[in-house]
Structure 1
Amino acid sequence: MRLRAITGFFFIIVMVGSVLLGSFVFSLFYLALSAFCLFEFYKLIKQNTAKPNVPIGLLNAVLLFTAFALFNYASFSALPGLSGKHMAFTLLFLLPLTSGAILMLELFKKSTAPFNNIAYTYFGIIFAVVPFIFFHALAFVGGSFNFHIPLAFLIMLWANDTGAYVVGSQIGRVKLFERHSPKKTYEGLIGGIVISAGAALILGHYYQELSWKQWVTIAILISCFGTMGDLVESMFKRSINVKDSGGILPGHGGLLDRFDGLLLAAPIVYAYLYFISN
């Protein structure tokens, strides 16, 4: 428990620092984080399921994340002397070649199930990288870099996790999805929503880009879809018979274990903010 608490403390410091230290640190941090999550995914798959093409998968992930990041920077001219959109389009036009390499290189391997390897290589990018692309875009949804929204997202996600754990462990009775996560309960889900909504009300007092109703709506979306993301990651681990996605965070498991709530919630929250801001 002590090791878990220490790891959690430093984890929060790093996460908050990544948001507060400016747009370029923010982008580089989440580019690296998404690449590590993808590597962790491939490492798990290679244990007993398939043999994804790790180098080409990582290359595609970096190109995809960087291209969309450049689109965000181009929206407020953060790259003096450079055309962010031109650079982004250049990277996107490279993707047919690099993603096609996933298919072509499989021709040279002696594999009994080549399309398993291909499928998991592509799916890893969708599962472990695309959500971080949407989370990164949250900071630019208003047209310029604003750390308030991604920081608020993390705070509400942590509030949901804390509320769900405390309420679920104390009064949880009715199981949510027992075959995927035996400890999750409907009472915990409701507790997470209430605590996250409370955090949203406080955030709305200080971060006035959105109304309090919009912040609470985001909190509810994070709680519901964050829980679904957690369950999906649990389903994934059970399907390959592993307990934790890794051991990089002592007492907490792997990176995918820590960011499972972001997998579905970040794209949904981005879509909500995009439509209400346009």
Structure 2
Amino acid sequence: MKTRAITGFFFTIVMLGSFLLGYQVFAGFYLVLSCFCLYEFYSLIKKDTATPNVPVGILSGALLFSGAALLNYSDMFALPALNGHQLAYLLLFLFVLSVSLVFVRELFKISVAPFANIAYTLVGMAFVIIPFSFFHALAYINNQGFNFHIPMAFLLMLWANDTGAYLVGLTIGRTKLFERHSPKKTWEGFIGGVVISAGVGYIISLYFPELDWKQWMSVGILISCFGTLGDLVESMFKRSINVKDSGSILPGHGGLLDRFDGLLLAAPIVYTYLYFVVNA
């Protein structure tokens, strides 16, 4: 318990720093974080399922995240002959070329199931990098430059949902939510997480004026529903390969994928919702 608390404290400090130290640190931190999560995904797959192309997969993931991130900028990160958008298109073009290397490399390997290797390499990018790209884009949803309020609020509501679901489920949980993939989750805990996350959304509306209270609470409900689904999907994935944690980089907490599994499905949904709400 002490190790878990110490890890949680330093993890919180690092996360706060990623928001408060400017857009360069924010982008760089989530680029590195998404690549580490992708590495964990590939490491789990390699245990008994397939042999994904880890170096090319991570390179492709980094190019995809960087290109998508630069689409949010105008002249930031510009080279002398390229503005932000042109540099983004160049990186996305290089991403397409790097993906082709996944196929080419399998031609020169002796493998029983080459297309399984290719498929898991690409699935890892879709499962990890794309959601983190949407999460990064939340800081630019209002088209007025970098604003860390929405991505920070996203994580606060996600963690509030996890904590609320755990405490309510532990106290009054009786009815299993999806026992086949996550035996400890209950409907009571799920509902408790939704209520607490929505409540945190209301509190956030008192300090962050980007959205009104109804919209913040709606975001909280979306995060609870799709964050729980993301958690269940990752649990299904881990059970399919008989592992408990995605890694051990966070003592007492497991791997990075374990900490951000709720983000993987919730971030694209929340971004889509806010895009139409903010730009309506």
What is the TM-score when the length of structure 2 is the normalising length? 0.97
Offset at 1:89?
0.8
Fraction of identical pairs, as percent: 67
Q: What is residue 118 of structure 2 aligned with on the other side? A: 118
Q: What is residue 217 of structure 1 aligned with on the other side? A: 218
Contact 2:103-2:118 within 8 A present in 1 as well: yes
Q: What is residue 22 of structure 1 aligned with on the other side? A: 22
Range moving further from structure 2, 240-249 or 93-102:
93-102
Q: What is residue 257 of structure 1 aligned with on the other side? A: 258
Supply the distance in 1 between the matched residues of 2:122 and 2:10 (Cα, whole angstroms): 32
Q: What is residue 13 of structure 2 aligned with on the other side? A: 13
Question: How many pairs are equivalent?
Answer: 276
Supply the distance in 2 between the matched residues of 1:208 and 1:95 (Cα, whole angstroms): 37
AA of the residue aligned to 1:125: M
Offset at 1:20?
1.2
Supply the distance in 1 between the matched residues of 2:127 and 2:96 (Cα, whole angstroms): 19
- Pairing of 1:82-231 with structure 2 (within 5 A): 82-143=82-143, 144-231=145-232
Offset at 1:173?
0.4
Q: What is residue 62 of structure 2 aligned with on the other side? A: 62
Secondary structure at 1:260 match in 2? helix
- Which ranges in structure 1 are unaligned for 5 or more consecutive residues? none
Supply the distance in 2 between the matched residues of 1:265 and 1:23 (Cα, whole angstroms): 22
Structure 1 residues 19-51: Cα deviation after superposition (integer angstroms, max 9, x where no partner): 111100000000000000001111111111100
Contact 2:64-2:92 within 8 A present in 1 as well: yes
Supply the distance in 2 between the matched residues of 1:233 and 1:79 (Cα, whole angstroms): 34
Secondary structure at 1:112 match in 2? coil
- Indicate the RMSD between aligned Cα atoms, in angstroms: 1.0
Supply the distance in 2 between the matched residues of 1:48 and 1:85 (Cα, whole angstroms): 41
AA of the residue aligned to 2:260: F
Range moving further from structure 2, 10-19 or 232-241:
10-19
AA of the residue aligned to 1:85: H
Structure 1 residues 28-78: Cα deviation after superposition (integer angstroms, max 9, x where no partner): 00000000000111111111110000011011001100001111112xx43
AA of the residue aligned to 2:55: P
AA of the residue aligned to 2:122: Y
Moved over 6 A (4+): none
Q: What is residue 78 of structure 1 aligned with on the other side? A: 76
Offset at 1:129?
1.1
AA of the residue aligned to 2:11: F
Offset at 1:96?
2.4
AA of the residue aligned to 2:180: R
Contact 2:76-2:83 within 8 A present in 1 as well: no
- Pairing of 1:238-249 with structure 2 (within 5 A): 238-249=239-250
Supply the distance in 2 between the matched residues of 1:125 and 1:214 (Cα, whole angstroms): 30
Supply the distance in 2 between the matched residues of 1:183 and 1:22 (Cα, whole angstroms): 39
AA of the residue aligned to 1:235: M
Supply the distance in 1 between the matched residues of 2:111 and 2:77 (Cα, whole angstroms): 45
AA of the residue aligned to 2:164: G
Contact 2:73-2:84 within 8 A present in 1 as well: yes
AA of the residue aligned to 2:134: F
Supply the distance in 1 between the matched residues of 2:109 and 2:147 (Cα, whole angstroms): 46
Secondary structure at 2:73 match in 1? helix
Supply the distance in 2 between the matched residues of 1:146 and 1:98 (Cα, whole angstroms): 32
AA of the residue aligned to 2:76: A
AA of the residue aligned to 2:97: L
Supply the distance in 2 between the matched residues of 1:180 and 1:36 (Cα, whole angstroms): 24
Range moving further from structure 2, 247-256 or 95-104:
95-104
Structure 1 residues 192-244: Cα deviation after superposition (integer angstroms, max 9, x where no partner): 11111111111001101100000000000000000000000000000111110
